[in-house]
Amino acid sequence: MSDIKDNTEGRVAVLVDCDNTSPEILEYALRVVAQFGRVVLRRGYGNHGTLANKWQDALVRLAFTPCLQYQYASGKNTSDIALALDALEAMFDGRAETFCLVTSDSDFAYLCRKLRERGATVHIVGETKTPDALRNASDQFFEWQAPDTATSSGEPKPEAAKSVKRRPRSLIAAVTLLAANTSEGRVGLGALGQYLKRTDPAFSPKAFGHSGLLDMVQTYTDLVTVKDGGGYWVSPKPRTETGTNGA
């Protein structure tokens, strides 16, 4: 009889720093983590003023367990320590192997590194203000942007500016590096996407005006994209045919 555990459905812990962000981010965070597995832990951490006021409705409605942390001294935040301890406990107990921290506080960067050192996967859902120290400590960073209050009052939204497609040269460098280590001189689109995420957890083709990674690489004149064996492969164009290209 096999003792191999069925890992087809990962276990995810969503831990929210309620003192650092707003309740509107919560539904976005749950949509993000749904792709990684089943959410087995839902906890929101904060002091009495935070949990009893703006966060109460959101935590109750979305079935989160409120973790109240009293401030033992003025200006001291005990919520961060409670969240970090619960995350480590959940990892060592085997209750979760994927963690989603909802925060923009760079103090959690060390927790992210410790979890990843032990083999856990860490995602951060944060606001635009999230420092690079926290973004780069995660496996993947998801940026949430607050709704535009100027256009949410029933007034017609101004016409959106046409998206400008940008082509950072770092993508060419990534293809060149990865393709050089293969016998065929090319890299699979999926492997390329994984590499770009590892080097920059916040990487997204949409941030550069593209609908997806395939759409993005096909705009480069210095790259060749072919479909083979049910997948797409990317390789640098031979130097004799190289044109000028870049961001």
What confidence score (pLDDT) does residue 6 get? Answer: 44
Tell me, letter by letter, the H, E, C secondary structure of 19-64.
CCCCCCHHHHHHHHHHHHCEEEEEEEEECHHHHCCCCHHHHHHCCC
**What is the extent of the structural domain holding 173?**
169-241
d(CA 99, CA 80): 15
Q: pLDDT tens digits, residue range 71-100?
A: 776 666 789 999 999 999 999 999 999 999
Tell me which residue of 15, 73, 72 sits closest to 40, measured CA to CA. Answer: 15
User: Is the pLDDT reported for residue 2 higher than 90?
Assistant: no
Q: Indicate whether 49 and 93 sit together in one domain.
A: yes
- Tell me if 159 is assigned to some domain: no
Tell me, what's the pLDDT at 229? 83
First to last CA, the chain: 56
Q: Confirm whether 199 is domain-assigned.
A: yes
Residues 182 and 235 both lie in one domain = yes
Q: pTM value?
A: 0.69
* Encoded tokens for 194: 């994984």
Evaluate if residue 203 carries a pLDDT over 90.
no
How many CB atoms neighbour CB 129 within 10 A? 10
Q: What is the CATH number of the domain that holds 48?
A: 3.40.50.1010
Look at residue 196 in the predicted model and tell me its pLDDT: 87
